[in-house]
Amino acid sequence: MSTYYLAVDIGASSGRLIIAWKEAGKLMLEEVYRFQNGMRQEGDRLYWDMEKLLSEIKAGLKECARLRKVPAYMGIDTWGVDFVLLNQEGEILGQCVGYRDSRTKGMAEKVDKIISREKLYERTGIQKQDFNTLYQLMALKEDSPEMLKEAKRFLMMPEYLNYRLTGIMKNEYTNATTTQLVDAVSKSWDGELMDMLGIPKDIFGTLYLPGEEVGEFTEEVQEEVGFSCKVLLPATHDTGSAVLAVPAKEEEILYISSGTWSLIGTERDEADCRPESMHFNFTNEGGYEYRFRYLKNIMGLWMIQSVKREIAQDMSFGEICGLASEESIDSIVDCNDERFMEPDSMTEAVRQYCRDSGQQVPEGIGQIASVIYNSLASSYKQAAEEIEKLTGKNYPVIHVIGGGSNAGYLNELTARYTGKKVIAGPAEATAIGNIMVQMIYGGEYESLEKARAAVRMSFPTKAYT
């Protein structure tokens, strides 16, 4: 009988529960449950509904039982930076504020007065993003200091969901690095930095690597879903999991984890905290076995997702790509411009950027999508050149993984702009990487290299030149 492994992969717009097993040497996947996700507005704040997420996970677990594909192991991954605080009784304080919330505006400037951005980067290696956990905690310290004083434990989103399933609290390294509060050399919480910022360091627990066991379901959860399961820590940061599934044969890899965000980078053994690296706004996020994900965040398919929702709800992304490929508009926007983070209208934000920069203003979904796709490919070209300059290495191949690997037109543009061979796939990289860690724990694979070889054999890819 097969041993089943379960990846709970939660993204900003949806979540999936994917069962995996080995069959004839190949890794097999089956999506057993999918649900919608998104921030909700309450007053002037944007929140994640943690109770809904927990309820959806349990519904997915019940579906596993109904299908008689009960997992022996499971792991949860989400995006980074967002967190909850718990009181002495283990109850959540307030709600989980989302990273697109505006509460962090002005916080970076206040932190700058305490520690310069250069010194902060030298310590953590993490790029400055207004939504980083550090700035969220500083906003909380200013707006709700009583909550921070009452807090007894800090948990990031997947850690909190693990806690609700098992009753056990454990912090995981890859996601913790996105907080901008982890020392890039010691690879542990930077208590001295927390003291400087007035953030209580005793709420942060020991950091565990991917592959650590959290625990079994509580009796209450077992009774509700109908079985028990061993919960493990994968790389709980979704990009940390996705990068594990890069099906590369070459030792030096360049990848784009393409989804709501586009994350372009490479793997390194040590963090690069030089001023030059900071100048180009690269980040050093923790990875499996203390590898570093040396990458740059680019706005990504969030822009296309938003435009589709606004003016092309009845069209598929494939249809939108088709229309975009037929346009010849040359306008390019800066995908990382703050106006694209949470605009009232993404469509109008793109048009206004073109208007302000003296470029042709796009009309209709085809032209707007063409501008976005070409702008993304242009930003990939620039980032790839910066990585090669900073690492002193040449990368002839870009591996595109994640949902965006299905965007054929964007892959064609990426190959054209960068002059590199693009290998697209697998699309389910995050879930696969999550499962790879579980399977290594379960003895299915001896090492990450063996697991990556299995990914190459199990999932098709498509090349663009």
436 burial via Cβ count (<10 Å: 0-12, 13-18, 19+) = buried
Cα 112-116-117 angle, rounded to 5 deg: 90
Phi, psi of 154 (to 5 degrees): -110, 125
Phi, psi of 209 (to 5 degrees): -80, 160
CA distances from 455 to 131, 186, 406, 431 (A): 33, 32, 17, 12
In angstroms, the CA 179 to CA 410 distance is 31
In angstroms, the CA 380 to CA 265 distance is 10
In angstroms, the CA 301 to CA 358 distance is 24
Q: Cβ distance 141 to 199 under 8 Å?
A: yes
9 labelled catalytic: no
- The strands making up 153-156's β-sheet, listed across from edge to edge, are 92-93, 83-86, 153-156
In angstroms, the CA 398 to CA 223 distance is 46
What is the phi-psi region of residue 134: left when phi exceeds 0, alpha when psi lies from -120 to 50, beta otherwise? alpha
Whole-number CA gyration radius for the chain = 21
What's the full length of the chain, in residues? 465
Beta-strand pair 40-42/26-36: unpaired
In angstroms, the CA 428 to CA 426 distance is 6
Structure tokens at 377: 């490919």
Catalytic residue among 238, 269, 330, 334: 238
In angstroms, the CA 258 to CA 241 distance is 13
Residues with catalytic function? 238
